[in-house]
Amino acid sequence: MAWFTRKSPSLDKAPPEGERKVRTEGLWTKCEGCSQVIWRKGLEDNLNVCPKCGFHFKLDATARIRALLDEGWEEFDKGMTTTDPLDFVDSRPYKDRLKAMQAATGHTDAVVTAAGRLNGRRVHVASMELKFVGGSMGTVVGEKITRSIERAMAEKTPVVIVSASGGARMQEGAVSLMQMAKISAALMRLDQAKLPYISVLTDPTTGGVTASYAMLGDIIIAEPGALIGFAGPRVIEQTIRQKLPQGFQRSEFLLEHGFIDNVVKRHDMKGYLANALNFFCGKVPA
């Protein structure tokens, strides 16, 4: 007489190909800094900073705003989308690529603009979304950031722009490059209005974004280990046929050579910005 009856298929037999599941898939991730395996939920709760070595993983635009602003912030121009001025097609139509990015990220383009209070002070924040076509700067990014600056001028409030971008968006050609001048001109008007602009550089900040508004802040700060530059290190090495110094184009290298004002850890960023704005604008009344 059998001690038990097997009601499920034999454990020795592998399940059909379509039924195989890995229950732990996506629950863990490996740190690029120390190779430690980290529980993904714990990493997210820690602002995407490795609890072991402090390596800064990339952070999406909305999470960034949540980390900087107090509760109750407001988003602007949420539904703005590009008109595809060139009817661009490469391996697939640009319009199809945009739809796929919008579905994947939940954003209509590569920047989120918002206003709220940073430790009690009213500020306007533009935060770039790297997952949307590499955080590239097109017409919508240019228009949304410019509008954010103009709203700040109307309200007489500071501006913070968090950059995370591969540069200008090639699918929009020269129209994309025009956004460099457009945003820079808006920042000049902000300066003439004697309102502060703080630029926060994250990994990566390159191309036309670095060549324009990312480097125009009254204070320019960066997260640890962020890649910052115009062309990438591989392109530079191939062009000059020389090996670049260790850590070239990383935040710490740029700080050492005077290109930025400070390197600030993500957990310290909100407090640092609050203190900087107190210096420019005076302390917020209690």
**pLDDT tens digits, residue range 86-106?**
999 999 999 999 999 999 999
Find, among 153, 145, 147, the residue nearest to 122 by Cα. Answer: 153
CA-wise closest residue to 50 among 65, 27, 64, 29: 29
Question: How confident is the model over 111-137, as pLDDT tens digits?
Answer: 999 999 999 999 999 999 999 999 999
Q: Nearest 5°: phi and psi at 76?
A: -120, 155
Cα separations in angstroms, 106 against 92, 109, 115, 133, 285:
21, 9, 19, 13, 37
**Residue 272 banded pLDDT, cuts 50, 70, 90:** very high
pLDDT surpasses 80 at 19: no
CA atoms of 150 and 73, how far apart (whole Å):
18
Burial of 84 from C-beta contacts in 10 A (0-12 / 13-18 / 19+) = middle
Q: What is the pLDDT of residues 150-184, one digit of tens each?
A: 999 999 999 999 999 999 999 999 999 999 999 99
Q: What are phi and psi of 113, to 5 degrees?
A: -110, 140
Which of the two residues, 83 and 253, has the higher pLDDT score? 253
* Contact assessment for residue 128 and residue 162, using Cβ atoms and an 8 Å cutoff: yes
Q: Looking at the chain, how many residues does it have? A: 286
Instruction: Say whether pLDDT at 12 is over 80.
Output: no
Distance CA 62, CA 59 (A): 8
Residue 14, pLDDT > 60, answer no
Residues 6+ positions from 35 with CB-CB distance below 8 Å: none
Q: What is residue 30's predicted lDDT score, i.e. its pLDDT? A: 95
What number of H helices and E strands is found in the chain? 9, 9
Do residues 226 and 200 make contact, with C-beta atoms less than 8 angstroms apart?
no
pLDDT computed for residue 244 by the predictor: 92
Closest CA to 161 of 119, 199, 131, 189: 199
- pLDDT (tens digit per residue) in 69-81: 999 999 999 999 9
Q: Which of 245, 101, 241, 240 is nearest to 169 (CA)?
A: 101
Q: What pLDDT, on the 0 to 100 scale, is given for residue 17? A: 57
Q: What is the pLDDT of residue 249?
A: 96
Q: Encoding tokens for residue 190?
A: 């902000």
Share of the chain above pLDDT 70, in %: 91
Rounded CA separation 68/47 (Å): 11
Q: What is the pLDDT of residue 26?
A: 78
Mean pLDDT of the chain: 93
**Kind and range of the H or E run holding 113:** strand 111-118
Report the percentage of the chain scoring pLDDT > 90: 88
Average confidence (pLDDT) over 269-274: 98
- Label residue 232 by pLDDT band (50, 70, 90): confident
Show the domains of the chain with their CATH numbers.
27-57 (no CATH), 59-281 (3.90.226.10)
| DSSP 8-state secondary structure symbol assigned to residue 169 | -
Beta strands at 197-205 and 159-165: parallel, antiparallel or unpaired: parallel
